[in-house]
Chain A
Amino acid sequence: MIENFDTKLGNVKIDTDKIIDFEYGIPGFENLTQFALLQPESTFPIMWLVSLEDKDVAFPVILPQLIRSDYEIILPEDITDYLQLEKPEDAVVICILTIPHNKEDITINLAAPVIISLRNKKGLQLLIESSEYKIRHYLKDEIERNNQLLSVQRDGG
């Protein structure tokens, strides 16, 4: 069923089958559970995790492999059970960007990716305790790192 929702990106029509249920909320926004992933061409490659309950809440997100091609996480079994995941393609993994007015300060949160299940449309923000992935990675540093990584891969074969 298609319904209209007021979101940060304006009034949008959303198929209610595509609403993502963040049953346990997102840290800091525990009272909001109904979200949608909007992918307007005009902001590509940024997508928007928008609240359908509070039109002021919208997180800019991207696929982490866009800027870190070797991004890898392992989901614990209780999470894969909850999300009913059987294979990696059953999940969408996105990371939240912080985009202040100064572009030098754009960061991406690789330590707390958002996992969305294509199987049961449930979502959650996972907190990874890892020395490699941090809550704030500067976009500039990541792009530089990724360029180096890709050029090594090219040279190596």
Chain B
Amino acid sequence: MLILSRKVGESIIIKLGTNHVKMTILESNNGTLKLGFEAPKEIKIYRSELYEEIVNQNKASLIDDVIEAANLFKNEVPKNFSPKYKNIDLK
């Protein structure tokens, strides 16, 4: 891991191909740092715990047995529950 020390008001630049992200330390308060990011729109910035939670949930969503899963679900959802619902046509 690369380790850099920065003071409030200082920043770092992360270069990704032809893009770059500039991260600035805006404020430091009792161990909490407030960070500002300047990045092109296509670069998404997330709190890592949120991103990792979605990764873990996606992995947990993979199904072993398609029919078993569908039946478990059907038993939980009342039959008359479906609102306006039709197949999606990806024309």
Contacts and interface: CB of A to CB of B under 8 A. Distances in A.
Q: How would you classify the secondary structure of chain B's contact residues: helix, strand, loop or mixed?
A: helix
Given A27-B55, A28-B56, A66-B83, A58 B66 contact: yes
B18 to A, nearest CB: 17
Contacts, number: 121
B77 interface: yes
Interface in B50-91: 50-51, 53-63, 66-70, 72-73, 75-78, 81-83, 85, 87-88, 90-91
B45 to A, nearest CB: 10
Given A59-B61, A60-B63, A99 B72 contact: yes
Interface of B: 41-42, 44, 46-47, 50-51, 53-63, 66-70, 72-73, 75-78, 81-83, 85, 87-88, 90-91
Given A28-B54, A28-B58, 8 more contacts: A37-B88, A43-B69, A45-B77, A60-B63, A66-B77, A67-B81, A106-B73, A106-B76
In the A-B complex, list the 6 residue pairs whose CB atoms are closest, starting with the nearest. A43-B70, A78-B41, A28-B55, A99-B69, A18-B90, A28-B58
